[in-house]
Structure 1
């Protein structure tokens, strides 16, 4: 079962997408900041994908988190989301899904990555 790290500061959104992913068969780890996400990635070696919002409190936003993941954990897949304008650039091989999104669309996007079915 692939493990997904959901990084979202809005608890209701984080719970919603986590429930959708769990129902789809993914193991889900939830955190509210990029700093917490880095701590999880440093402590665990079983994270397959990071699903991150861009706008979050803390020392880095979701784009900086995505760049750090790409640099430090290249095999980890990345999906970035925001309710604002699409960022001009995202890390190589990352996907962007605008908010609001349907949970099933997130699941479908995750399954396009290798080893995520």
Structure 2
């Protein structure tokens, strides 16, 4: 009987400082068929991105501790890792009207998980 290698799930870096929200986002990502890697803030996210060239999508909150917010993280990702797609989320609606870096998508909190997952799948097809 032929053996097939399992399909490699694409990696999504979830950046969220609130543990409960991070766990919920990780569940959403994994339920959608992706593999999640977790970061508690932008500094942690950059450290992970520097060592994990296999990450294709970053899902980040805007408000985070230690000085670098999700918008700055998105800009840094666009500058240093242009192929990575970024989804930004926040409970502050005015942030959604701000100019995001290229190939970044914004969702207001509370976000519709179906729309976020659909966007992740769209992004994964163009990686």
Residue 103 of structure 1 deviates from its aligned partner by 2.3
Residue 113 of structure 1 deviates from its aligned partner by 1.4
Correspondence for 1:106: 116
Q: Deviations over 1:45-88 (max 9, x none)?
A: 10000110000001300000000000000000000000002421
**Would you identify which runs of 4 or more consecutive aligned residues in structure 1 move more than 4 Å?**
none
Partners of 1:32 and 1:116 lie apart in 2 by 27
Q: Secondary structure of the equivalent of 1:111? A: helix
Give the structure-1-normalised TM-score: 0.93
For the Cα contact (< 8 Å) 1:48–1:116, is it kept in 2?
no
Give the structure-2-normalised TM-score: 0.86
Gaps of 5+ in 1: none
Residue 116 of structure 1 deviates from its aligned partner by 6.5
Which is higher, the Rg of structure 1 or of structure 2? 2
Q: Secondary structure of the equivalent of 1:112? A: helix
Give the number of aligned pairs. 117
Instruction: Identify which of 65, 78, 95 aligns with 1:70.
Output: 78
Gaps of 5+ in 2: 1-8
Root-mean-square deviation over aligned CA pairs: 1.5
For the Cα contact (< 8 Å) 2:57–2:123, is it kept in 1?
no
Q: Secondary structure of the equivalent of 1:48? A: strand
Pick the structure with more helix per residue. 2
